[in-house]
Amino acid sequence: MSRGLGDVYKRQMKLHPCYKEYLWGGTRLKTEYGKSDAPEVTAESWELAAHPDGLCIVESGSLAGMSILDLGKLDRKGIWGTACKEMTFPLMVKLIDAKKDLSIQVHPSDFTAQWENGEQGKAEMWYIVDCEPQACLYFGFSKRVSKEEFLRRAKDGSICEVLNRVPVARGDVFYILPGTIHAIGAGIVIAEIQQNSNTTFRVYDYQRKGVDGKLRPLHLDRAAEVLDYTPIVPEECRTNSCVSFPEFTMTEMFSCRYFRAYRVDVKKCVELLCDGQSFHHVLCVEGAAMIHAHGQSYPIECGESYLMPAALGNYKIEGSCRVLVSRV
């Protein structure tokens, strides 16, 4: 693969997402977040994905039509970055429109996920893009329960009685460790930054039926094995550090062994650096701007995202917007 290699590091790459239609999805991604080609009811827009269940594609330019996996084969270090040691892309970013409640669920860790067809674990971070008044989510156990109590409550439908029900507001951030029981509530739009995994163990699903007319399957035995039964105090799980300048404000939403994620509020402009270690993924969640790099400029609007190659160097975002920047 030699096409575009000479200047591939000098340009940002607009990505076309892949869409997921789940029964709890809504219409906001299509009507408010620029997904004009999405199905009428769309639950998830995978903005950065290189997974067997969904691949993002470069939308335009000399590399148009190439997937993120193709880019890694073209030049893993130059595009993905030196921190990506293997040919398994490490990160996934989604926009999620929860018109209805999602199932109560849990994700495995790297260790417990090894039993699931070689998948990575799934640590994830939620950023609340928008929400309806009184919207809530479930986040961890509110008290210690035994495995036996968990299974009983999951089966009789009382599981929510021992979970933290947390009201949310725009801009809230939650980090969901593997093993943490959780669920997104109705009326919330979320940006989810996570390990590149699609393994979910469903615990409780409100007796909902799938498109086949049958109750959606639960995974109680596997969930019981990977769950962390330790209670969580949600207020203790929100940690942000912020730096503010006249032209922009940058907030580190979360940093862990798997990824780092920042919220950047651009008032006029901000200059960022891809240092060779990792790509940057830039997702616009409010406003609009121009991205400038190596003499080229591209617009970015709410709901759009770009992949910035690891070897790009400096780039500038100019306008009035809020973007989420993630990297490994």
Catalytic residues: 202
Both tokens of 114, joined, read 């090894």
Compute the C-alpha angle 76/78/82, nearest 5°: 70
CA–CA gap between residue 288 and residue 300 (Å, rounded): 6
On whether the CB atoms of residues 325 and 261 are closer than 8 A, the answer is yes
Residue 278 amino acid letter: S
Q: Contact 165/71 with Cβ under 8 angstroms?
A: no
- Tokens 């398994």, located at residue: 88
CA distances from 232 to 8, 56, 161, 256 (A): 45, 35, 14, 18
Say which DSSP state 279 is in: -
Q: Which of 315, 318, 321, 320 is nearest to 13 (CA)?
A: 315
With a CB cutoff of 8 Å and minimum separation 6, the contacts of 261 are: 125, 127, 193, 252, 253, 254, 255, 324, 325, 326
Cα 135 to Cα 300: distance, rounded to the nearest angstrom: 29
| Residue 256 near residue 123, CB atoms below 8 Å | yes
Longest dimension (CA), the chain: 62
Alpha-carbon separation of residue 68 from 73, 283, 284 (angstroms): 9, 16, 19
- Residue 168: CB atoms within 10 Å: 22
